[in-house]
C-alpha cells in the first residue's frame, strides 16, 4: 500500500486536487508498470529464411508478361503483374523477389503456396543458438518461437505475447510444462484484472509472520518487520562472472521503478549512488556481517549465504528489524534444513536451484518444481509454513513459471538468467550455475537496460493477472501451495488413461 501511495503521489497531482484525491487514491490506484518500447540493442537472428530462385522468378515474370501481352499498356495490369505474394513486405523492396527483405518474414508461407517451385521458407538455425541449452526448445525444427524470443519480445514491448491458431508446442514437457493451471467457468471476478474494473492483488510479503506475540520479561519480544513487494518477483544475485556495472545498474533502477528488490553483494553496488540502492537486499556470509556494518544497517532485508544462530544477536544490534533470508541450495534434504531454519526463527528461505532448474544433488538431480513442493509440504506438516517466506529461483525463465512456482509452494520468485536474456547478454557456453556460467563482458546504456527489465516485469505481471483472473483469484497470496488449482500431467494421465492398455 505504501508503494501504491508513493506511486499515486508521483503521478502529477498537485495542490487541492492532490489533497482531495489522496484518500480516494489509496483505494483506487492499482499497481501498474508503464512499459515503453525498448528495442533490442543488438539485431536478433530472424526465425525464418525466405529463399527465392532468381532464375525461376525471372522465368515467371517472362511468362506473366507474355500472358498479359498488350494489356500491360494499362497501368492497372502492370500493377497486377507486379503485385507480390507477401503481405508482410518481404518482396516489397525495390528489387522484389530478387532481393527479399528477410527480416520481414513471418513464416506465413503464402509465397510457397503461390510459387512452390520458386519460393521456399526454411527455419533459421541461428535463431535457436542464443543463450544456452535450457533456453532451446525440445524440437527446434518445428517451432518459430523460443523462450529467448518470447523474453525478448516481452522486454522490448512490455506486452503479452499473442498468437493465433491454438497452441503449437509439445503436449506436455518435463518440469514446468507438465503443469496446467485451473480456470473457473462461472464463480470468479471478471477478467478485468488486466483491462479494467476489478483489482487483482499481486502483492506479497517477505518476512517472518509469528503465529502469536512473544514476550520477554513482560516486554514484547523484538520482531523483524515484513516488507511488501507489489509483485511476487525480485532479482536474484548474479555472480561476478555473470554481471557488469551496466547489468547491476539496470537491475537496481528497474527494482526501484517496479517497487521490488534485488539481491547483490555490497561489492557489486559500490558504483551506485545511495539513491540507487534503496531496494538492495545485500547478500553475504554470516561472518562478513560485521565487516560491512553500513550495508547491513540500511538494508530492508538481508540474505545470508550461511546461517549461524549464535551470530544473530550481533546482527540484531546493527539492524533490529530487517528480515533475515537464508540462501539454501536446493537438494533432496532441503525440506529438513528448511524446517530447522524455520524453527530457528529465520524470516525467509531462498531456495536456489541451478540455472537449469535442477537440484544440487550431483548425478541425481530433481527439478525445482518438485523440490519447492517438497519443502513447502514439509513446512506445512510441521505447522511452520505460514511463519516463513519461501523465495524460489533457478530455472524460472518464462512468465508462466511464476504462478506455477507459487502453486508449488513458493511465495515469490527471484529472476536470474532471464535478466541476462532480457538484456541481450551473450552467454559464453553453458550457464548452469553461478560457478560455471560466463558471459561476454560488454557495456550498454543502463537506461535502456532499466526499461527492458521494467517491460519484462510489466509483461509478466499482466500475464500473472491473466492466470489469476482465469482462476477467479483476487490475490496471488491465495495461490501459494494451492495445488488443487493446478493439474499435473502425471496425475491426469494416470486418471484418464488408467484403463487403457499401455504398450511400449
Q: How far is CA 229 from CA 43, 204, 211, 235, in A?
A: 34, 5, 21, 12
Quote the CA–CA distance of 281 and 263 in Å, as a whole number: 5
Count residues contacting other proteins (CB under 8 A)? 88
From candidates 115, 199, 360, 448, binder to other proteins by CB under 8 A: 115
Decide: 165 and 134 in contact? Cβ < 8 Å.
no
Q: Which of the residues 407 through 466 are near other proteins (CB under 8 A)? A: 463, 466
Residue 107 binding other proteins, by CB under 8 A: yes
Q: Return the number of the residue (76 or 219) whose C-beta is nearest other proteins.
A: 76
Question: Alpha-carbon distance 487 to 228, whole Å?
Answer: 29
Question: Which residues inside 233-292 make contact with other proteins, applying CB under 8 A?
Answer: none
For residue 484, state whether it binds other proteins (rule: CB under 8 A).
Answer: yes
Dump strand ranges (E) for 178-244.
179-181, 204-206, 215-216, 219-220, 227-229, 233-235
Kindly tell me which of 243 and 400 has the beta carbon lying closer to other proteins. 400
The tally of CA atoms less than 13 A away on the side-chain side of residue 385 is 20
Residue of 192, 203, 196 whose CA lies nearest to 230: 203
Candidates 104-112, 247-255, 364-372, 415-423 — which segment interacts with other proteins by CB under 8 A? 104-112
Q: Are 308 and 346 in contact (CB under 8 A)?
A: no
Nearest approach, Cβ of residue 56 and other proteins (Å)? 11
Site for other proteins, residues 60 to 99, rule: CB under 8 A: 76-77, 79-80, 83, 85-88
Q: Candidates 31, 48, 91, 135: give the one binding other proteins (CB under 8 A).
A: 48
DSSP result, 199-210: --B--EEES---
Cβ closest to other proteins, residue 448 vs residue 488: 488
Report the Cα 84 to chain-centroid distance in Å. Answer: 40
CB of 11 to other proteins, least distance (A): 24
> What are the beta bridge partners of residue 234?
414
55 binds other proteins (CB under 8 A): no
Distance between CA 468 and CA 474 in Å, rounded? 7
Q: Per-residue string for binding with other proteins, 301-340, x by CB under 8 A?
A: ----------------------------------------
Please list every residue from 121 through 140 that binds other proteins, using CB under 8 A: 121-123, 139
Is the CB of 435 or the CB of 499 nearer to other proteins? Answer: 499
Whether residue 153 contacts residue 463, with contact meaning beta carbons closer than 8 Å, is answered with no
Site stretch for other proteins (CB under 8 A), options 142-150, 287-295, 308-316, 426-434:
142-150
Binding to other proteins, residues 151-210 (CB under 8 A): 160-172, 177, 179-188, 190-192, 195
Amino acid at each position: 500500500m505504501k508503494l501504491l501511495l508513493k506511486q499515486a503521489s508521483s503521478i502529477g497531482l498537485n495542490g487541492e486536487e492532490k489533497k482531495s484525491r489522496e484518500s480516494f487514491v489509496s483505494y483506487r490506484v492499482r499497481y501498474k508498470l508503464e512499459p515503453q518500447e525498448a528495442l533490442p540493442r543488438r539485431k536478433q537472428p530472424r526465425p525464418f529464411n525466405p529463399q527465392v530462385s532468381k532464375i525461376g522468378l525471372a522465368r515467371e515474370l517472362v511468362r506473366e508478361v507474355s500472358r498479359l501481352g498488350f494489356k500491360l499498356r494499362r497501368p492497372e495490369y502492370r500493377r497486377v503483374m507486379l503485385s507480390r505474394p507477401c503481405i508482410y513486405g518481404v518482396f516489397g523492396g525495390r528489387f522484389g523477389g530478387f532481393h527479399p527483405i528477410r527480416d520481414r518474414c513471418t513464416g506465413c508461407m503464402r509465397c510457397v503456396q503461390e510459387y512452390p517451385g520458386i519460393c521456399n521458407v526454411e527455419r533459421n538455425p541461428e535463431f535457436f543458438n542464443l543463450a544456452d541449452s535450457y533456453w532451446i526448445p525440445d524440437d527446434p525444427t518445428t517451432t518459430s518461437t523460443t523462450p529467448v524470443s518470447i523474453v525478448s519480445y516481452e522486454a522490448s514491448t512490455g506486452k503479452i505475447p499473442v498468437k493465433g491458431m491454438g497452441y503449437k508446442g509439445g503436449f506436455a514437457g518435463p518440469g514446468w510444462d507438465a503443469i496446467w493451471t485451473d480456470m473457473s467457468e462461472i464463480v470468479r471476478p471478471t477478467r478485468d484484472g488486466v483491462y479494467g474494473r476489478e483489482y487483482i492483488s499481486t502483492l506479497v510479503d517477505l518476512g517472518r509472520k509469528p503465529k502469536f506475540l512473544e514476550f520477554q520479561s513482560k516486554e514484547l519480544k523484538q520482531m523483524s518487520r515484513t516488507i511488501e513487494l507489489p509483485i511476487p518477483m525480485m532479482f536474484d544475485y548474479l555472480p561476478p562472472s555473470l554481471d557488469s556495472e551496466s547489468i547491476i545498474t539496470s537491475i537496481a533502477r528497474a527494482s526501484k521503478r517496479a517497487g521490488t528488490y534485488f539481491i547483490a553483494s555490497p561489492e557489486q553496488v559500490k558504483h551506485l549512488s545511495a539513491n540507487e540502492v534503496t531496494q538492495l537486499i545485500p547478500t553475504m556470509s554470516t561472518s562478513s556481517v560485521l565487516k560491512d556494518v553500513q550495508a547491513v544497517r540500511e538494508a530492508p532485508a538481508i540474505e545470508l549465504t550461511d546461517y549461524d544462530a549464535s551470530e544473530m544477536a550481533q546482527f540484531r544490534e546493527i539492524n533490529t528489524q530487517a528480515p533475515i533470508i537464508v540462501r539454501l541450495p536446493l537438494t533432496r534434504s532441503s525440506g529438513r534444513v528448511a524446517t530447522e531454519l524455520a524453527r530457528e526463527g529465520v524470516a525467509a528461505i531462498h531456495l536456489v536451484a541451478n540455472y537449469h532448474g535442477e537440484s544440487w544433488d550431483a548425478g541425481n538431480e530433481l527439478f525445482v518444481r518438485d523440490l519447492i513442493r517438497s519443502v513447502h509440504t514439509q513446512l506445512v506438516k510441521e505447522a511452520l509454513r505460514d511463519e516463513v517466506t519461501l523465495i524460489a529461483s533457478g530455472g524460472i525463465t518464462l512468465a508462466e513459471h511464476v504462478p506455477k512456482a507459487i502453486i508449488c509452494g513458493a511465495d515469490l520468485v527471484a529472476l536470474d538468467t532471464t535478466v541476462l536474456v532480457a538484456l541481450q547478454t551473450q552467454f559464453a557456453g553453458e550457464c548452469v550455475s553461478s560457478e560455471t556460467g560466463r558471459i561476454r563482458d560488454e557495456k550498454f546504456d543502463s537506461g535502456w537496460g532499466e526499461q527492458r527489465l521494467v517491460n519484462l516485469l510489466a509483461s509478466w505481471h499482466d500475464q500473472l493477472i491473466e492466470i489469476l483472473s482465469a482462476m477467479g483469484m483476487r490475490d496471488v497470496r491465495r495461490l501459494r501451495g494451492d495445488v488443487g488449482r493446478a493439474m499435473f500431467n502425471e496425475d491426469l494421465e494416470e486418471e484418464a488413461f488408467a484403463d487403457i492398455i499401455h504398450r511400449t
